[in-house]
Structure 1
Amino acid sequence: MTTVQTAATGRKFPKFDLARLLGTVFEPTFGRRVCILIDLPDLAEAKGMAFLNNPERKVQRKAHEAFYQGLHGGVMEELALKGGEIFAYEKTGGSNLDLPDRCVDMEGNELSLEKDVYSKYDLVLCISTFSATAPLTAFAKQYGFRGATLHGLNDVILSTGLAVDYNDVSRDAEKLRASMTKADWVEIDFTVEGHEEMTVRLELNRQEAQKSHGLCQGDAPDVANLPAGEVYFVPTGAEGQFPLKYEDGTLGRLTVTGGRIIKAELIEGKQETIDEHNRKLQDDPMTGVLGELGFGTQVLPVSGADIQDEKVLGTCHLATGRDDHLGGHITPDQFKRRQNATHDDILFAPHKTPNFDIKQARMHRDGKTTVLIEHFQPAEYLRKALES
């Protein structure tokens, strides 16, 4: 088997093999109808696959190169799949916002996702700019298909996070899930250069931990988020403070009470960025609800896309907004405005947040407090769980 070694991890990865990936994730595949969904800001770019000539459509072009051409280059025959078409829908503008029903095929014909895709295909591969896991999971349960969401696809993800054996990923995720399940709470201490420490406590109420492990086998409706490799909880409450690095580089201190971010304060950067966040929190308080606590389980290089980078062992992340796709109760209809009903990950990782550190993340379970992460490295407890 051909392997690729990355300098960042020292780990050797097998060469990306679409047949192996789809065959492992979706076993069985015989006779299943498969299609690819992409998003475009202008659906006119779908006709004749005009988006292939636009250098700004990096994700969509990668979907065509690695998945569409791969399927039609022998993978369909190898896995006994049918179909293989591409459909495009209009870009939503936010993570996990509801998908529009209108779509087009590559000849520009206008179609319906519900009538022409969800109800007619068994395997749906959504390769998009923004994550579609939450809405696609709801449609999978309604129409009975299986699928995978692969937003932000790039070359690093293809050669590492999608090149691994997902049976191995699933086993490691289960080892770590079992080591954290039914925890009472998790506390995370943050240190920010030149500033005071902050601590946030997530109440977990002894819930069963869940895993994103990449396997979507059998015929039960389900959607895998790829690359996978994560243990996650839906917090039942949260208190404290944590730092947030905004897209423009501004660093803020977020105060959490009752499981919800109630205010942001400036640490460094632009006050206007903080003011805008506070306006949104006041206008639509549901945008501040913490709907997820997640821990990465894989040894992977940084890809520059959170879809992979949040799966790296030693990192953790919180998420605000809807969590119905994770087994939570926060649904789009609870938000003041539907366009606010996103699920937005807040990733804590060295490359993403170089000016602050996770001093320690610890879990309380069965009357004992155990360290999980220190300085973005898995503590002994997690390392031993993986070795078991």
Structure 2
Amino acid sequence: MNLNEREMSSLFQAVFPKLEDDRQIALLVDLPDDKEEDNSPWALRRKIAYEWFLLLQEIKSELQIDHVDLIVYRNVKSNNADLPCEMYIWNKETPSTFPNEELPQSTSIEDVFGKYQIFLVLSEYSATAPMKIAAKKYHFRAATMSGFSSDMLPALRIDYELVNKRLLQLKELLDAAHTLCLTFSVDDKSFSMKFDLRSTTAHVSGGRFPTAGMVGNLPSGETYIVPNETPQSQSEGVLPVQFDDEVVLYEIKHNKVVNVISSGRFSEIEREHLQKEPAYGNIAELGFGILRDFGISPIGEVLLDEKLGFHIAFGRSDHFGGLVGPQHFSSPQQVVHIDYVYIPETQPRVSVDKMELVFAEKSQTIMNHNEYSLWEKP
């Protein structure tokens, strides 16, 4: 069941506290090119977006908003690739595939970003990176919701005041630390990684966007940091990631994957991918999701699952303040920022046995066996 008027009003006012210049809201939706490219979750997400569009129109006076639009665009085939130059205002029924005839009213992406102050982006392919970059220039606010489904609605109803408090505590620790040390176990073997946190600061994604220029995921619930990406980075070790039943072992030096030292079908796929796209091997993000402590379960969509526990992302980082952007990839279609989540449901053979932050004069363990040791569960 979708949100009702009361729930939508409460959620919207919590996520986007009213600013003086707020006048117009846009819901952005990407469309498949044809029926063969479509899938059931994508179609359901477009239905949710259309229902939210109608719902926001009903409560816009309560939100002190003048206008709400639903805007569609041709999908970009890859997570966090740049968005297309043209978009289309949609006022019909639930959008289906990209219309090749009788296109609705078109508008440039620059006009879209300049016109609306608040965006909800319910897309198949993540638009977080391009929206973050654009928000710095156009000063809008946006919640990006790639992969959103009705299964995520419970995560919109938790105590985000407590969530934010814990995320801020994590940020304070990460900002003060110079190294993150991890010990992984894979079956009966142990692997170690250390990440260089020097000259970087953490960011909180707590489901609230109170100031212009802020963009983040919804549902939210993570603190994240880009490790040192310079050639002098001291990030190194062996990083395990499980694909189906196989665990791929990446050798990391200077914050980049330099080799795949495991064997198997997925190891070979990853090895070939890294040879073709070295930028994919950049360690772009260390994420500390906490929603598993609030009783939220994974559903197989990264948008939610990454907020449940620790995760590591490969690829693009410039939207988080890092150094690797689209120009480092071979083509716009190859641009990627992909998260690997370390919780038992997603990587049952891999455990984060110990997570330790190292400071100038001390160290502190913040996770044991996939469980945070900083606080009690709510």
After TM superposition, the score normalised by the length of structure 1 is 0.84
2:336 paired with 1:342: yes
1:25–1:166 contact (8 Å) kept in structure 2:
no
Could you tell me which residue of structure 2 aligns to residue 3 of structure 1? none
2:190 paired with 1:197: yes
Alignment of 1:83-232 (within 5 A): 83-106=67-90, 108-158=103-153, 160-194=154-188, 196-205=189-198, 207-218=200-211, 220-232=212-224
Aligned residues: 354
1:39–1:91 contact (8 Å) kept in structure 2:
yes
Could you tell me which residue of structure 2 aligns to residue 71 of structure 1? 56
How far has the Cα of 1:113 moved from its partner? 4.2
Supply the distance in 1 between the matched residues of 2:6 and 2:23 (Cα, whole angstroms): 22
Could you tell me which residue of structure 1 aligns to residue 286 of structure 2? 293
Supply the distance in 1 between the matched residues of 2:161 and 2:62 (Cα, whole angstroms): 20
Could you tell me which residue of structure 1 aligns to residue 271 of structure 2? 278
Match of 1:24 among 6, 14, 37: 14
2:255 paired with 1:259: yes
1:284-318 C-alpha deviation (Å, 9 max, x unpaired):
21110101111113323323222222222xx2111
Supply the distance in 1 between the matched residues of 2:275 and 2:197 (Cα, whole angstroms): 26
2:236 paired with 1:239: yes
1:95 partner SS: coil
Over 3 Å counting, the alpha-carbon distance change for 1:351 and 1:77 in structure 2 is: same
Could you tell me which amino acid in structure 2 is paired with residue 18 of structure 1? M
| RMSD between superposed Cα atoms in Å | 2.6
Could you tell me which residue of structure 1 aligns to residue 44 of structure 2? 58
Could you tell me which amino acid in structure 2 is paired with residue 227 of structure 1? P
List alignment gaps of at least 5 residues for structure 2. 93-102
Supply the distance in 1 between the matched residues of 2:170 and 2:41 (Cα, whole angstroms): 40
Over 3 Å counting, the alpha-carbon distance change for 1:123 and 1:266 in structure 2 is: same
Supply the distance in 2 between the matched residues of 1:148 and 1:309 (Cα, whole angstroms): 17
Over 3 Å counting, the alpha-carbon distance change for 1:59 and 1:134 in structure 2 is: same
Supply the distance in 1 between the matched residues of 2:65 and 2:139 (Cα, whole angstroms): 17
2:274–2:280 contact (8 Å) kept in structure 1:
yes
Supply the distance in 1 between the matched residues of 2:72 and 2:82 (Cα, whole angstroms): 15
How far has the Cα of 1:175 moved from its partner? 2.3
1:242 partner SS: strand
Supply the distance in 2 between the matched residues of 1:166 and 1:180 (Cα, whole angstroms): 21
List alignment gaps of at least 5 residues for structure 1. 1-13, 46-50
How far has the Cα of 1:319 moved from its partner? 0.7
How far has the Cα of 1:83 moved from its partner? 2.1
1:29–1:79 contact (8 Å) kept in structure 2:
no
1:28-80 C-alpha deviation (Å, 9 max, x unpaired):
156520010011112899xxxxx9x9775122222223x223213x3212102
How far has the Cα of 1:191 moved from its partner? 1.0
1:202 partner SS: strand
